[in-house]
Amino acid sequence: MKGFLVLVITTYLCLTCYAQDTITEDIKYTREIKKLATKKQVKTAFQVILDLEPKTIKNHIELTEIEAPPFKEEIRAIEFSKRLEEIGVDKVWIDSIGNVLGLIKGYEGKRNVAIDGHLDTVFPEGTDVKVKIKNDTLFAPGIGDCTRCLSMLLTIAEAIKKSEIKTRDNILIIGTVGEEGLGDLRGVKYLFKNNKPKIDSWIAIDGGNIGRVNNQALGSYRYEVKFKGPGGHSWGAFGLANPHHALGDAISKFVEKADEYTSKGPKTSYNVGVISGGTSINSIPYESSMLIDIRSVRPENLDDMELILKKTSEDALA
């Protein structure tokens, strides 16, 4: 084949977390929870949550109908902050990256416990986010992941204030930016990188089944794989190296090896989510690229999958 191709693999989004190998029940913790559940203020708070359900649903619908794709969460963030202020938490602010933080002071206040829900949704700008109600169910893009989380945060904050619960530690109610897609947890990373305010414990509320609690972390590596060539006319330059052909071959080779690897051992997944490149049907593209997401509960598996991706992509150049 005439011409040449250049391969570029970029690990431009990378988050590594470590999962627990075993789960054991902490008897001391269980007893403490049962004891707390019997307290009058806690019982009152649960009743307040039930009484606030109409308001929770109202917040849910109204916040859902504010578009918030990654990197464009500002309007929703402002509205979320206003609602925290109306509840009467001790302090509300929006940090330099766009996270909304609401502080409920503890009587000691030596530690900060964060309760987080992300502001953004996975859906792009221009998506119709009008909520439709059918019987007892709400339908709209992003209504579960994660606008429900924001409405829950508001209700939790209001229940604490109305029940006059005094916690030992400070509570931070946080709406974070950039959880979805190319946002790559930028809001959460900013908080921990800057350590202002210092966060001692973190609870994240996210979309999923009711009653499910995760206490393990999931690692994620993300890549852009790009093939570049000289490009040309489909007839006049026929026979020139074609980046699309190389990318297709790379995907085929990667899937074959990745399927073999992920079929055994701790759960590991991969996804070719976006393919792009080319300018017209009758031109050989200058560039062809794909975005790949790889996840695993075991850090070493992520590294192994990276080697598979690099090797199969390089083989596609042959």
Q: What pLDDT is attached to residue 3? A: 54
231, 288 contact by CB (below 8 A): no
Q: What pLDDT is attached to residue 24? A: 61
- For residues 125 and 231, what is the distance between their CA atoms, to the nearest angstrom? 32
- For residues 66 and 119, what is the distance between their CA atoms, to the nearest angstrom? 10
Residues 44-59 have pLDDT tens digits of 999 999 999 999 999 9
Q: What pLDDT is attached to residue 105? A: 97
- Amino acid residing at 192: F
240, 3 contact by CB (below 8 A): yes
Residues 282-301 have pLDDT tens digits of 999 999 999 999 999 899 99
Q: What is the mean pLDDT of the chain?
A: 91
When pLDDT is averaged across residues 56-75 and rounded to a whole number, the result is: 97
- For residues 53 and 151, what is the distance between their CA atoms, to the nearest angstrom? 10
- For residues 105 and 20, what is the distance between their CA atoms, to the nearest angstrom? 32
Q: Which domains does the chain have, with CATH numbers?
A: 6-15+218-315 (3.30.70.360), 27-204 (3.40.630.10)
Q: Is 230 helix (H, G, I), strand (E, B) or coil?
A: coil
Q: Is the pLDDT of residue 276 over 80?
A: yes
Residues 9-31 have pLDDT tens digits of 776 555 544 444 555 667 888 89
Instruction: Give the Å distances, CA to CA, from 154 to 5, 73, 109, 178, 209.
Output: 53, 17, 21, 20, 20
> Is the Cα torsion angle 222, 98, 104, 64 positive or negative in sign?
negative
Q: What pLDDT is attached to residue 211? A: 73
* Inter-axis angle of helices 53-64 and 40-51, nearest 10: 50
Higher pLDDT, 12 or 142: 142
Which positions ≥6 away from 63 have C-beta within 8 Å? 76, 79, 80, 147, 150, 151
